[in-house]
């Protein structure tokens, strides 16, 4: 009926206006290179070619590009998160839950095969590279260790993980000494919005490690020994993934004369395009400070946690000229160690950090001298539960 | 191209609407054809040629059929016109399965072209109807091609017959009702989009989570089975709603494909409410030509068996689909037998009888969709056994029990929304609200405003889900 037309136009025009305006915004909206909230690079414009059309990769890439560059993307992701939490009454969004102001990723069940694989990796490394050196291992609990059970979320069986790890290492006949750091940690020792622990709350943990490794005499872990520096508005990895409203954290990093004097050599930064590596002892090697605040100025900086040793790297060597000993330490590690290692610099003149997610085991021997060094395996539970990522 | 994709919602749809409404009536079918081919080629850049070849061949053969009508040659062209699309379907969908079970020969066939089962049935129905003079042959190749390729229903139905949209295709869009149809189409489209993105996809994520567990509790096994049935329903009926809604935007009236199937009180009723256009196709082109129910009891049972074997096979070349189809055949025969013995008691309308009938259909649906969902019969049997606390899927260790309880709690909201949304209750509530609002002075405007808010709100929410999530498969594309 004619008289009803204007009313029907309310829906029609609203819908069409919504679609057309969004289409126009998609076209004219400035395109970002990275999503800081999700910590990833966004898809680039797909290249149109006969081959990419026939194998459908152009269409798939185009869909990804449109999804990544949609206007008001973060706002829309927040709407989705709120709908999932409040209307669908989900306990998590994208596998992240928030409880007591802390965001954590669900990680379950325990992958026993992965724990065995991890133990076997440790044993094979010891056989291959440091059969006679003192070797310790410690496990960093993820936030679920503190948050999951009391709040009704599923988690790994942490006791079983440690038991399995110990059994497997003991049965190898090699000596691995376990350092229990979990007992001294609590959820407040972690960032609210991020997976990592907070350096300014690690002094007790370092003391436990130092006690076990016999280096405490060389360490001064009094808070007064350090100067605190703050980086405000740190939105951690879980903030972006959960898309839920959370207050930002503050990164605090601790410096003293020893950390100021120390320098970090990084394999990736000393690798030329033709594959040549400038080793630390060679002229022309690139050295960086322990706390790399310049990283925060980079436009493509995805993670402010990179301030600690410059972020992810396959192999790093830290030289500490003001150390109280000439001992050397090799740590097989993940990203948690980036904030812990600087606190050990008073006790070691050289700390080598090896991240087996980025460098394969056979290559390690080409760059690292294990002889006479202390060896520490320091991994968080999530890595142990997904040990296949270690090369 | 998926309806629930950014490329469709914000590029393809507005562009197609713009072109369709701004070209003169004569050019509309050409616009539809061009855009539909583009729509299909976005997902099948190679097999689009197969579809176009099928259109050309069936158009040519029906032309020859008409030319030689009354002669023996017409029959030959008729057989060829039906055989050709079915041979292509058989090659892509069934040849590997049948050579395997008949000759134990494993042959590798290319991936199944998207929507081939749907457009094959449309082409076949057109050729059969033209031969039997139920519809006039379409003499314009563009119009005929627009019918087969019509993007709203091309890849996942509903199976639209030529006679159902012939008028719009030949006479053009009727502008007298355009506002009403357009508004209805928008609401229907976003309803389907919401069913797909906000309900089916979320249920699908739950189904994947539970499937990954391996073992589970009885409670979670039931929730899993219910989630599978609901996911399939919301996925497919959501797509049908989107197709019908899009059809209305372009002036077409597509047949209904779902009418709240989960409220059925018998399997017979369920199939009158579920995938209606497929059931009608088999009824009109297989069951009735075989004699339907106007034959002896044994022959009738045979007819039922054949139709449901085909229905199962239509959904996929696998033993689970065959068993799934035959299960319904057996149940339909049993239902008819029971009804003939105690019709009065069954149709008494007493609430206890109705509750028993609802429970019977619910159990049948849940079990049948477990068979439908699983890739192998053994997996389906394990899932069914888990419903009664038997078999290798039952969880015993504390950690798994904790995970099961969590998964159930975490997805209880979507399960309840799904169960509620599968009933006619939401529609009933909206109608009541509408009637009550319309009694007031500005009630009519409020109703339209609410519809606008609903349309835009669901569109924004679905966009948010698409941007944030990657779980967006269409289950019926594989058919």
Residue A92 lies in a domain: no
Residue A370 lies in a domain: yes
Residue A79 lies in a domain: no
Is B315 assigned a catalytic role? yes
Residue A362 lies in a domain: yes
Quote the CA–CA distance of B463 and B461 in Å, as a whole number: 5
Min distance A123 CA to chain B CA atoms (Å)? 29
A48 and A160 assigned to the same domain: no
Residue A84 lies in a domain: no
A23 and A43 assigned to the same domain: no
A50 and A108 assigned to the same domain: no
Residue A80 lies in a domain: no
In this complex, is the C-beta atom of A142 within 8 Å of any C-beta atom belonging to chain B? no
A264 and A336 assigned to the same domain: yes
Quote the CA–CA distance of A232 and A248 in Å, as a whole number: 8
In this complex, is the C-beta atom of A66 within 8 Å of any C-beta atom belonging to chain B? yes
Tokens of A68: 């990544």
A110 and A138 assigned to the same domain: yes
Residue A249 lies in a domain: yes
pLDDT in tens, A267-309: 888 888 888 888 888 888 889 999 998 877 777 677 888 899 9
A3 and A48 assigned to the same domain: no
Q: Which residues of A touch B464 (CB under 8 A)?
A: 76-77, 79-80, 83
DSSP string for B164-212: HHHHHHHH---GGGHHHHHHHHHHHHHHHHHIIIIIIHHHHHHHHHHHH
Model pLDDT, residue A1: 57
A248 and A164 assigned to the same domain: yes
Count of domains observed in chain A: 3
Min distance B443 CA to chain A CA atoms (Å)? 11
pLDDT in tens, chain A (391 residues): 566 778 888 899 999 999 999 999 999 988 888 877 777 788 889 988 999 998 889 999 999 999 989 999 889 999 999 999 999 999 998 889 998 899 999 988 888 999 999 999 999 999 999 999 999 999 999 999 999 988 889 889 899 999 999 999 999 888 999 999 999 999 999 999 999 999 999 999 999 999 999 998 888 888 889 999 999 988 888 888 888 888 999 999 999 999 999 999 998 888 888 888 888 888 888 899 999 988 777 776 778 888 999 888 899 999 999 999 999 999 999 999 999 999 999 999 999 999 999 999 999 988 899 999 999 999 999 999 999 998 8
The neighbour count for residue B441, using CB atoms within 10 Å, is 7
Cβ atoms B126, B162 nearer than 8 A? yes
A48 and A163 assigned to the same domain: no
Out of B106, B260, B315, B358, pick the active-site residue.
B315
A12 and A40 assigned to the same domain: no
Ordered alpha helix ranges (H), B23-115? 28-43, 48-67, 72-89, 95-103
In this complex, is the C-beta atom of B387 within 8 Å of any C-beta atom belonging to chain A? no
A124 and A15 assigned to the same domain: no
Question: Could you tell me which residues are beta bridge partners of residue A316?
Answer: A266, A353
A50: containing domain: 31-71
Min distance B413 CA to chain A CA atoms (Å)? 5
CB burial of A271-291 (b: ≥16 within 10 Å; e: otherwise) equals eeeeeeebebeeeebeebbbb
The residues, any chain, with a CB within 8 Å of residue B71's CB and separated by 6 or more, are none
A13 and A41 assigned to the same domain: no
Contact check, Cβ <8 Å, A66/B403? no
Cβ atoms A103, A96 nearer than 8 A? yes
Model pLDDT, residue B472: 44
A177 and A317 assigned to the same domain: yes
Q: Which residues of chain B have pLDDT under 70?
A: 470-479
A311 φψ region: left (φ > 0), alpha (ψ -120 to 50), beta (else): left
Secondary structure (3-state) at B71: coil
Residue A174 lies in a domain: yes
Tokens of B388: 């009664």
């Amino acid at each position: 009926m004619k008289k009803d037309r204007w009313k029907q136009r309310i829906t029609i025009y609203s819908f069409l206006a919504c679609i057309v305006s969004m289409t126009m915004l998609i076209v004219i909206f400035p395109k970002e290179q990275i999503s800081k909230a999700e910590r990833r690079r966004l898809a680039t414009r797909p290249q149109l070619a006969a081959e990419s059309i026939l194998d459908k990769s152009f269409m798939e890439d185009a869909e990804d590009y449109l999804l990544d560059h949609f206007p008001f993307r973060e706002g829309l992701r927040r709407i989705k998160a709120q709908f999932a939490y409040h209307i669908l009454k989900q306990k998590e969004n994208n596998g992240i839950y928030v409880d007591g102001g802390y965001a954590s990723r669900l990680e379950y069940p325990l992958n026993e095969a992965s724990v065995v694989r991890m133990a076997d990796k440790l044993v094979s490394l010891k056989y291959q590279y440091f059969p006679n050196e003192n070797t310790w291992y410690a496990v960093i609990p993820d936030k679920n260790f503190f948050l999951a059970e009391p709040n009704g979320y599923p988690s790994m069986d942490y006791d079983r993980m440690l038991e399995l790890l110990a059994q497997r290492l003991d049965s190898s006949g090699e000596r691995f000494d376990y350092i229990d750091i979990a007992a001294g940690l609590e959820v407040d020792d972690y960032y609210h919005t991020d997976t990592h622990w907070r350096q300014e709350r690690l002094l007790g943990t370092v003391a436990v490690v130092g006690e076990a490794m016999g280096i405490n005499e060389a360490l001064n872990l009094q808070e007064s020994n350090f100067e605190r520096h703050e980086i405000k508005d740190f939105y951690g990895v879980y903030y972006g993934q959960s898309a839920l409203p959370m207050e930002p954290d503050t990164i605090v990093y601790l410096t003293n004369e020893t950390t100021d004097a120390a320098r970090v050599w990084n394999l990736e930064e000393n690798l030329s395009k033709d594959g040549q590596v400038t080793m630390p002892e060679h002229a022309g090697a690139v050295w960086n400070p322990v706390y790399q605040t310049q990283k925060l100025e980079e436009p493509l900086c995805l993670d402010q946690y990179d301030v600690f040793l410059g972020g992810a790297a396959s192999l790093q060597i830290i030289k500490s000229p003001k150390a109280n000993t000439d001992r050397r330490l090799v740590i097989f590690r993940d990203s948690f160690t980036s904030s812990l290692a600087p606190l050990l610099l008073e006790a070691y003149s050289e700390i080598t950090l090896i991240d087996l997610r980025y460098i394969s085991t056979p290559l390690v021997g080409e760059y690292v001298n294990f002889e006479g060094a202390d060896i520490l395996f320091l991994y968080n539970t999530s890595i142990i539960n997904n040990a296949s990522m270690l090369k | 191209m998926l309806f629930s994709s950014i490329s469709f919602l914000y590029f393809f749809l507005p562009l197609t609407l713009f072109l369709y409404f701004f070209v003169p009536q004569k050019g509309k079918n050409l616009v539809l054809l061009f855009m539909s081919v583009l729509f299909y080629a976005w997902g099948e850049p190679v097999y689009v040629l197969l579809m176009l070849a099928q259109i050309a061949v069936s158009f040519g053969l029906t032309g020859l059929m008409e030319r030689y009508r009354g002669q023996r040659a017409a029959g030959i062209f008729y057989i060829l016109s039906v055989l050709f699309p079915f041979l292509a379907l058989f090659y892509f969908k069934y040849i590997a399965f049948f050579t395997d079970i008949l000759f134990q020969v494993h042959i590798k066939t290319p991936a199944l072209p998207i929507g081939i089962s749907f457009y094959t049935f449309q082409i076949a129905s057109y050729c059969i109807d033209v031969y039997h003079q139920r519809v006039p042959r379409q003499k314009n190749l563009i119009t005929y091609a627009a019918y087969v390729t019509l993007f709203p229903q091309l890849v996942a139905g509903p199976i639209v017959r030529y006679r159902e949209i012939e008028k719009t295709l030949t006479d053009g869009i009727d502008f007298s009702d355009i506002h009403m149809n357009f508004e209805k189409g928008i609401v229907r489209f976003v309803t389907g989009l919401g069913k797909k993105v906000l309900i089916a996809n979320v249920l699908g994520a739950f189904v994947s989570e539970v499937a990954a567990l391996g073992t589970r509790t009885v409670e979670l096994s039931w929730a899993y089975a219910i989630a599978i049935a609901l996911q399939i329903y919301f996925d497919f009926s959501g797509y049908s709603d989107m197709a019908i809604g899009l059809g209305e935007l372009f002036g077409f009236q597509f047949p209904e494909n779902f009418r709240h199937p989960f409220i059925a009180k018998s399997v017979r009723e369920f199939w009158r409410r579920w995938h209606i256009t497929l059931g009608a196709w088999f009824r009109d082109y297989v069951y009735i030509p075989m004699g339907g129910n106007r034959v002896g009891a044994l022959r009738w049972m045979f007819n039922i068996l054949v139709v449901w074997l085909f229905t199962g096979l239509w959904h996929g070349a696998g033993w689970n689909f065959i068993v799934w189809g035959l299960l319904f055949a057996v149940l339909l025969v049993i239902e008819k037998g029971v009804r003939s013995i105690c019709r009065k008691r069954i149709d008494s309308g007493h609430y206890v009888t109705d509750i028993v009938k609802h429970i019977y259909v619910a159990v049948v649906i849940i079990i049948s969709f477990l068979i439908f969902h699983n890739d192998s019969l053994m997996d389906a049997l394990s899932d069914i056994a888990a419903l009664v606390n038997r078999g290798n899927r039952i969880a015993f260790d504390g950690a798994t029990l904790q995970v099961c309880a969590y998964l159930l709690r975490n997805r209880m909201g979507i399960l309840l929304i799904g169960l509620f949304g599968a009933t006619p209750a939401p529609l009933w509530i909206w109608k009541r609200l509408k009637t009550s609002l319309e009694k007031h002075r500005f009630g009519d405007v409020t109703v339209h405003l609410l519809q606008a808010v609903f349309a835009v709100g669901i569109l924004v929410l679905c966009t948010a889900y698409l941007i944030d999530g990657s779980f967006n498969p269409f289950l019926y594309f594989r058919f």
